[in-house]
Amino acid sequence: MESSQRIAHRFAHCRSQGRPALVAYLTAGDPSPDLTPELALALERGGADILELGVPFSDPIADGPVIQRASDRALRAGTNVARVLEIAARIREHSQMPILLFSYMNPLLRYGFDRLGEEAARIGIDGILLTDLSVEEAAGPVAQFRRHGLDTVFLAAPTSTERRLKLVGDYSSGFVYVVSRTGVTGEQNSVAASVGPLVEKLRGLTSLPIAVGFGVSKAEHVRAIGEYADGAIVGSALMRVVEEHGAAPDLPARLEAFARQLTAPAQGAAQ
């Protein structure tokens, strides 16, 4: 089955405007499953182009403390894979923003890849990112998800060998996620200088759009990344807003304002 091409079209649209795409991450179910769709739509109003919808997991080894705590709160709120799919369906009722499930292997394996692929495609989810799936072992899962028309996104890190970078390019569709530094997710004061050369190396191995994440938290980061990559991925900075204001009635408005702050310089430069 052919993919929806929503992800590819959104990157192409951003490129035509001369700006990087903002890929926004939300942990589904934090502070509550019922509120997540509203938060996603608020991010879109603020300028987010693509949504990474995080499936909460009890051992999120690639994530820093902010997203770890968000996963814990989401799990305690009763969020599981089935509930995440319901959340995605509610978002899709009101938005054509591309949606990517961001997950660790265990929850999706337990749910079943084929079952997940069929239901995700029916709902209108566009892709899957499995953070802890080794790209050397990705052929089977990729085939299962592609059969349902889902894009598959893999991570390229500063420590990746050229062979692994080529596999990342081969098995990815939609875009390639470049990890800006070693370690876990979390806000940083600056984007690592080594990420630019890594993006350039990937350009020689894949024609897919390239988005940079891990540590991206400020408007100047998004603007700087836009000089050499196609998108900037922001997660922990957004989830910190959720953590600090989760009980506030104006949480959606705060997230929308933060997203607008992240995208305003790039939007202005594109005009």
Q: Specify the CATH number for the domain of residue 241.
A: 3.20.20.70
75 vs 80: CA distance, rounded Å: 7
Stretch (H or E) spanning 93: none
Sequence-separated contacts (24+) of 249-252 with Cβ below 8 Å: 251/31, 251/35, 251/39, 252/35, 252/38, 252/39, 252/41, 252/42
Give the pLDDT confidence of 166-184 residue by residue, as tens digits.
Answer: 999 999 999 999 997 544 4
| Number of domains present in the structure of the chain | 1
Residue 233's domain comprises 6-270
Could you tell me the pLDDT band of residue 159, with boundaries at 50, 70 and 90? confident
The 3-state DSSP class for residue 100 equals strand
Taking each helix axis from N to C terminus, what angle separates 113-123 and 81-92, rounded to the nearest 10 degrees?
20
Give the pLDDT confidence of 40-57 residue by residue, as tens digits.
Answer: 999 999 999 999 999 999
What pLDDT, on the 0 to 100 scale, is given for residue 265?
60
**What mean pLDDT comes out for the span 123-149?**
95
Tell whether the model's pLDDT for residue 27 goes beyond 50: yes
**What mean pLDDT comes out for the span 25-31?**
98
What pLDDT, on the 0 to 100 scale, is given for residue 254?
98
The 3-state DSSP class for residue 85 equals helix
Q: Is residue 1 part of a domain?
A: no
What pLDDT, on the 0 to 100 scale, is given for residue 269?
54
Q: Is residue 204 part of a domain?
A: yes
Q: Which residues are catalytic?
A: 52, 63
Tell whether the model's pLDDT for residue 61 goes beyond 90: no
CA distances from 206 to 37, 78, 232 (A): 33, 39, 18
Give the pLDDT confidence of 215-233 residue by residue, as tens digits.
Answer: 888 999 999 999 999 999 9
- In sequence order, the 6+-apart residues with CB closer than 8 A to the CB of 210 are 175, 176, 178, 199, 202, 203, 229, 230, 231
